[in-house]
């Protein structure tokens, strides 16, 4: 055992012992699970990582003392960075985090957004009057196509300083519209190294609030030629409330290829899919993200309250659940598939120790992958191959044999590093550890694992299967199909009966769905479209909204809805609108338009010019829709062939990229009235589109700092309407 400074290595007084006991008993009362793995319910809502926030700790961040002697001693002893860098490491951790965002959307839209960010945004929003040196704003070198940007302004300042209100408005409206994602720099890394392809079956095991799920979905939709990719993302979180944050994320991205589910991922039931011959087979995922719950000390810059409650015990308590989540992921992964394991913790017990334990148990079936080449320019430290395990009192141990008996329940043998002779076997140096001073970010840990062989059942020891044993389910070969009703272990079957499913049902269309004939005829939907992928959320009565899923998601929901708690799926494709002028009771919704557009007949499509679209956007109040005669002759000619009702407006532009031309196409749900034309857009989308088209957005550029009397906008100000949600 290595003893540090005496003040930490022993419990000094009887009073202290009593205090500790009372503390522990208090916690037990509240429920062990709640205080540990489920404590995210009380954590900062935007990352679910930080240590539990006690009531008495709630104070303004400025008042928080960013000191913790144990923390300093712990990481100094662990040698997380070179000794000469340690002060820089701590200084960086004590400073506030800067802001970052990613540009998303189709290639064309992203290109145009990038031009705005590089041009106007810097000039207008960042550089302030009289600023000699504007804040630095730069693209992250390792993120493809300059689509991720870091601003050396803190998120707090952007929110707080009046001079940045335009930047704040920009970030809010574009985030709500879905064209940018506000995401921490380091949090962008796991999806990048998962190497996603559009046909992949992807599982995001701990997904809420969903910034990485969003990134996974964007990557799934990378081939713009295909409106509905064959792959999908299953986004899971154990916390029911946080699942609805995932629903919000998924809604922004309008994908028919995502389902949100609500389970403890360490015990995620097997899921099944239907083969062409109608038989069922267990799903083996191609890619799995395990962004596990963690102590979150890598987020100290964003969540400084962690300074006050950090202790080595947090990591010891989390190691078990982190490992069990990773182990379940390894079971659900196909051979040849990839897992990314990530945490925003600096602690090797939550990082390398979990990976080492997994590699050891997998016995050669999993290998660490070196992904350094896919992140050019990223500064990081290689994974640690040696670390110490410390008690909550900062007694450090090299091996399990040294551990004092009193820590037997908290310090486990699997938390220790590989023995010197075995070091080379595991290549833990292939893990990536990002420290805050390396490029002014939060701290983060990423490991990429590849499954090279099926997991095998380990030998039983003393007639008892060890807790750590890995058992691969019988899967995938068709010959080993399991009785469908028996796929859950006993304990989960009981639990299922107790569960109350509050979600509305997912009612997929049948072949002869009565409303479908009208929709199909009115929009001249092509025969390639499978109406069975449409669903409603009500069994009976008038259908209000009709949602679309991909065929694979439909099969997943239908096949697994008895055992999987689906929280949400489907993108809104049609909305009821009982307008007597239209021969169909449903209008097209903007949300599903990108997916459904190729199937809609030309009879309901119109092309629209920049000028006409700007006029529609500036007047999209239904009572004030522009008269058709006030629009261009081209629009008037097209309208002649279009009966009143819902239609698609198509705006196209060709963007120059060196010698290449990149097409940008935007689809908007429109309404051809008897004498007028309008588009359906929310205020955020209106602002976004006007921005993209070079229109006037001055009436939306309202400073939230101005008192209502100073300025009376004729529409509510963007910044006042929606509060931002960041990760
Ligand atoms: C680090 S956060 C995930 C952040 C998310 N991946 C993102 O990028 O937005 C960890 C999440 O794990 C969830 N969680 C904790 N224990 C879990 C478990 N056993 N199974 C599934 N999710 C769990 C928490 O509710 C929390 O939302």
Residue 124: band (very low, low, confident or very high) from pLDDT cuts 50, 70, 90: low
Taking a C-beta distance cutoff of 8 angstroms, is the pair 290, 325 a contact?
yes
Probe target for ligand 1 pocket from 219, 252, 293, with the most ligand atoms within 8 Å of CB: 293
Among residues of the chain, what percentage have pLDDT more than 70? 80
Helices (H), 31-164: 32-35, 69-78, 86-94, 107-116, 155-160
Place of tokens 């409330």: 241
Q: Whose CA is nearest to atom 27 of ligand 1?
A: 208
Say yes or no to pLDDT of 69 above 60. yes
- Measured in Å, residue 246 CA sits from the centre of ligand 1 at 11
Place of tokens 């990423």: 446
How far, in Å, CA of 657 to CA of 159, rounded?
34
Q: Whose CA is nearest to atom 17 of ligand 1?
A: 238
Mean pLDDT of 588-612: 96
The whole-number pLDDT of residue 469 equals 38
For the beta sheet containing 98-103, the strands, ordered from the edge strand earlier in sequence to the opposite edge, are: 137-139, 148-154, 98-103, 180-181
Give SS3 for 534.
Answer: strand
The atom number, within ligand 1, closest to the CA of 212 reads: 8
Three-state secondary structure readout of 326-389: HHHHHHHEEEEEEEEEEECCCCCCCCHHHHHHHHHHHCCCEEECCCHHHCCCCCCEECCCCCCE
Identify which has the larger pLDDT, 42 or 569.
569
The whole-number pLDDT of residue 132 equals 64
How far, in Å, CA of 117 to CA of 476, rounded?
47
The whole-number pLDDT of residue 622 equals 79
- Measured in Å, residue 318 CA sits from the centre of ligand 1 at 12
Q: Is 206 annotated as a binding residue?
A: yes
- Measured in Å, residue 267 CA sits from the centre of ligand 1 at 14
- Measured in Å, residue 151 CA sits from the centre of ligand 1 at 27
The atom number, within ligand 1, closest to the CA of 41 reads: 25
Q: Is 291 annotated as a binding residue?
A: yes
Mean pLDDT of 39-62: 41
- 691-725 confidence digits (pLDDT tens): 999 999 988 887 777 766 554 443 333 332 222 22
Residue 670: band (very low, low, confident or very high) from pLDDT cuts 50, 70, 90: very high
Joined together, the tokens standing for residue 575 give 């909305």
Q: Is 207 annotated as a binding residue?
A: yes
- Measured in Å, residue 244 CA sits from the centre of ligand 1 at 13
Identify which has the larger pLDDT, 116 or 58.
116
Taking a C-beta distance cutoff of 8 angstroms, is the pair 55, 308 a contact?
no
- Measured in Å, residue 292 CA sits from the centre of ligand 1 at 6
The whole-number pLDDT of residue 683 equals 92
pLDDT, the chain, mean: 84
The whole-number pLDDT of residue 707 equals 65
The atom number, within ligand 1, closest to the CA of 289 reads: 6
Mean pLDDT of 592-604: 95
Find which of 28-32, 84-88, 114-118, 133-137 is predicted with most confidence, using mean pLDDT.
84-88
Burial class (CB in 10 A: 0-12, 13-18, 19+), 480: exposed
The whole-number pLDDT of residue 384 equals 97
Mean pLDDT of 29-48: 33
The whole-number pLDDT of residue 119 equals 85
Probe target for ligand 1 pocket from 203, 238, 306, 341, with the most ligand atoms within 8 Å of CB: 238
Residue 127: band (very low, low, confident or very high) from pLDDT cuts 50, 70, 90: low
- Measured in Å, residue 36 CA sits from the centre of ligand 1 at 13
Residue 15: band (very low, low, confident or very high) from pLDDT cuts 50, 70, 90: very low
The whole-number pLDDT of residue 483 equals 36
Q: Is 618 annotated as a binding residue?
A: no
- 198-250 confidence digits (pLDDT tens): 999 999 999 999 999 999 999 999 988 888 999 999 999 999 999 999 998 88
The whole-number pLDDT of residue 125 equals 66
Task: Give the residue from 109, 107, 191, 102 showing the smallest Cα distance to 150.
Answer: 102
Say yes or no to pLDDT of 587 above 80. yes
The whole-number pLDDT of residue 657 equals 81
Burial class (CB in 10 A: 0-12, 13-18, 19+), 496: middle
Say yes or no to pLDDT of 3 above 70. no
Say yes or no to pLDDT of 167 above 90. no
Q: Is 353 annotated as a binding residue?
A: no
Kindly report whether the peptide bond that precedes residue 323 is cis, defined as omega within 30 degrees of 0. Answer: no
- Measured in Å, residue 265 CA sits from the centre of ligand 1 at 9
The whole-number pLDDT of residue 578 equals 81
| Alpha-carbon distances, residue 541 vs 76, 284, 493, 538, 544 (angstroms) | 65, 38, 33, 7, 9
Find which of 44-53, 122-131, 463-472 is predicted with most confidence, using mean pLDDT.
122-131
Probe target for ligand 1 pocket from 47, 208, 324, with the most ligand atoms within 8 Å of CB: 208
Residue 538: band (very low, low, confident or very high) from pLDDT cuts 50, 70, 90: confident
Q: Whose CA is nearest to atom 19 of ligand 1?
A: 264
- 383-415 confidence digits (pLDDT tens): 999 999 999 999 999 999 999 999 999 999 999
How far, in Å, CA of 46 to CA of 451, rounded?
32
Told to judge if 344 belongs to the known catalytic residues of this protein, a careful annotator would answer: yes
Per-residue DSSP letter, 287: E
Residue 61: band (very low, low, confident or very high) from pLDDT cuts 50, 70, 90: low
Per-residue DSSP letter, 169: H
The whole-number pLDDT of residue 500 equals 44
The whole-number pLDDT of residue 63 equals 73
Q: Whose CA is nearest to atom 13 of ligand 1?
A: 206
The whole-number pLDDT of residue 327 equals 98
- 457-516 confidence digits (pLDDT tens): 654 444 333 333 344 433 333 333 333 334 444 444 444 444 444 678 899 999 888 899
- Checking ipTM against 0.90, whether it exceeds it is yes
The whole-number pLDDT of residue 160 equals 84
The whole-number pLDDT of residue 631 equals 97
Q: Is 264 annotated as a binding residue?
A: yes
Probe target for ligand 1 pocket from 185, 206, 265, with the most ligand atoms within 8 Å of CB: 206
Taking a C-beta distance cutoff of 8 angstroms, is the pair 280, 556 a contact?
no
The atom number, within ligand 1, closest to the CA of 208 reads: 27
Of 63-72, 430-439, 711-720, which range is least confident?
711-720
Identify which has the larger pLDDT, 517 or 465.
517
Residue 57: band (very low, low, confident or very high) from pLDDT cuts 50, 70, 90: very low
Of 50-54, 204-208, 214-218, 270-274, which range is least confident?
50-54
- Measured in Å, residue 202 CA sits from the centre of ligand 1 at 16
Interacting residues of 423 by C-beta distance below 8 A, sequence separation 6+: 385, 386
| Alpha-carbon distances, residue 211 vs 194, 447, 483 (angstroms) | 15, 19, 37
Of 254-268, 339-353, 712-726, which range is least confident?
712-726
Q: Whose CA is nearest to atom 6 of ligand 1?
A: 207
Probe target for ligand 1 pocket from 212, 218, 233, 237, with the most ligand atoms within 8 Å of CB: 237
The active-site residue, picked from 125, 257, 344, 679, is: 344
Q: Whose CA is nearest to atom 18 of ligand 1?
A: 264
Say yes or no to pLDDT of 346 above 70. yes
683-693 and 107-116 helices cross at what angle (nearest 10)?
A: 80
Who lines ligand 1 at CB under 6 A?
37, 40, 47-49, 187, 205-212, 236-239, 242, 264-266, 291, 293, 321, 325, 727
How far, in Å, CA of 441 to CA of 97, rounded?
7
- 614-644 confidence digits (pLDDT tens): 999 999 887 889 999 999 999 999 999 899 9
């Amino acid at each position: 055992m290595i003893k540090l400074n005496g003040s930490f290595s022993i419990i000094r007084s009887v009073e202290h012992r009593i205090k500790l006991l009372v503390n522990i008993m208090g916690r037990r009362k509240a429920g062990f699970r709640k205080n540990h793995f489920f404590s995210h319910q009380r954590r900062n809502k935007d990352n679910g990582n930080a240590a539990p926030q006690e009531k008495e700790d709630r104070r303004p961040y400025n008042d928080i003392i960013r000191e913790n002697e144990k923390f300093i001693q712990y990481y100094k002893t662990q040698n997380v960075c070179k000794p000469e860098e340690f002060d820089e490491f701590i200084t960086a951790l004590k400073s506030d985090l800067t802001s970052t965002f990613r540009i998303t959307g189709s290639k064309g839209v992203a290109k145009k957004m990038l031009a705005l960010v590089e041009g106007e945004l810097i000039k207008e929003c960042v550089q302030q009057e009289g600023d000699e040196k504007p804040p630095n704003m730069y693209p992250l070198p390792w993120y493809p196509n300059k689509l991720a940007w870091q601003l050396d302004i803190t998120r707090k300042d952007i929110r707080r300083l009046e001079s940045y209100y335009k930047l704040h408005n920009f970030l809010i409206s574009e985030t709500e519209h879905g064209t940018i994602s506000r995401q921490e720099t380091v949090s962008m890394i796991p999806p990048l190294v998962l190497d996603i392809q559009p046909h992949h079956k992807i599982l995001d095991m701990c997904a809420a609030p969903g910034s990485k799920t969003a990134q996974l979905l964007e990557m799934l939709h990378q081939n713009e030629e295909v409106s509905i990719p064959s792959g999908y993302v299953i986004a899971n979180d154990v916390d029911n409330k946080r699942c609805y944050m995932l629903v919000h994320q998924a809604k922004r991205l309008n994908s028919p290829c995502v389902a949100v589910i609500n389970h403890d991922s360490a015990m995620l039931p097997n899921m099944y899919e239907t083969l062409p011959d109608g038989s069922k087979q267990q799903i083996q995922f191609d890619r799995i993200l395990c962004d596990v719950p963690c102590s979150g000390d890598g987020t100290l810059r964003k969540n400084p309250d962690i300074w006050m409650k950090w202790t080595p015990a947090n990591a010891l308590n989390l190691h078990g659940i982190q490992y069990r989540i990773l182990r379940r992921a390894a079971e659900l992964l196909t051979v040849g598939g990839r897992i990314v394991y990530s945490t925003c913790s600096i602690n090797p017990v939550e990082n390398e120790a979990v990976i080492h334990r997994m590699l050891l148990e997998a016995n050669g079936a999993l290998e660490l992958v070196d992904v350094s080449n896919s992140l050019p320019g990223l500064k990081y430290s290689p994974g640690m191959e040696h670390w110490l395990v410390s008690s909550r009192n900062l007694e450090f141990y090299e091996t399990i044999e040294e551990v004092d008996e009193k820590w037997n329940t908290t310090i486990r043998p699997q938390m220790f590093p590989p023995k010197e002779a075995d070091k080379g076997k595991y290549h833990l140096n292939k893990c990536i550890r990002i420290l805050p001073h390396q490029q002014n970010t939060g701290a983060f840990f990423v490991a990429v694992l590849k499954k090279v062989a099926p997991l095998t059942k380990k030998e039983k020891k003393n007639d008892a299967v060890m807790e750590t044993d890995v058992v691969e389910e019988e899967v995938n070969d068709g010959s080993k199909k399991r009785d469908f009703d028996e796929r859950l272990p006993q304990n989960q079957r009981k639990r299922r009966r107790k569960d109350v499913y509050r979600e509305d049902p997912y009612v997929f269309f049948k072949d002869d769905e009565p409303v479908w004939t009208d929709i199909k005829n009115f929009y001249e939907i092509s025969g390639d479209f499978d109406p069975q992928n449409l669903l409603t959320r009500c069994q009976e009565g008038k259908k209000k909204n009709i949602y679309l899923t991909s065929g694979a998601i439909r099969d997943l929901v239908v096949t697994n809805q008895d055992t999987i708690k689906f929280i949400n799926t489907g993108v809104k494709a049609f909305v009821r609108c009982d307008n007597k002028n239209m021969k169909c009771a449903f209008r097209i919704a903007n949300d599903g338009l990108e997916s459904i557009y190729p199937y809609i007949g030309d009879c309901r499509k119109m092309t629209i010019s920049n000028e006409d679209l700007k006029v529609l956007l500036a007047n999209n109040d239904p009572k004030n829709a522009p008269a058709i005669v006030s629009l261009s002759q081209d629009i008037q000619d097209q309208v002649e062939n279009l009966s009143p009702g819902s239609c698609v407006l198509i705006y196209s532009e060709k963007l120059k990229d060196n010698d290449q031309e990149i097409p940008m196409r935007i689809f908007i749900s429109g309404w051809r009235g008897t004498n007028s034309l309008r588009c359906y857009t929310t205020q955020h989308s209106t602002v976004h589109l006007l921005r993209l088209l070079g229109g006037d957005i001055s009436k939306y550029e309202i400073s939230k700092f101005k008192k209502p009397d100073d300025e009376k906008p004729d529409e509510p100000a963007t910044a006042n309407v929606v509060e931002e949600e960041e990760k």
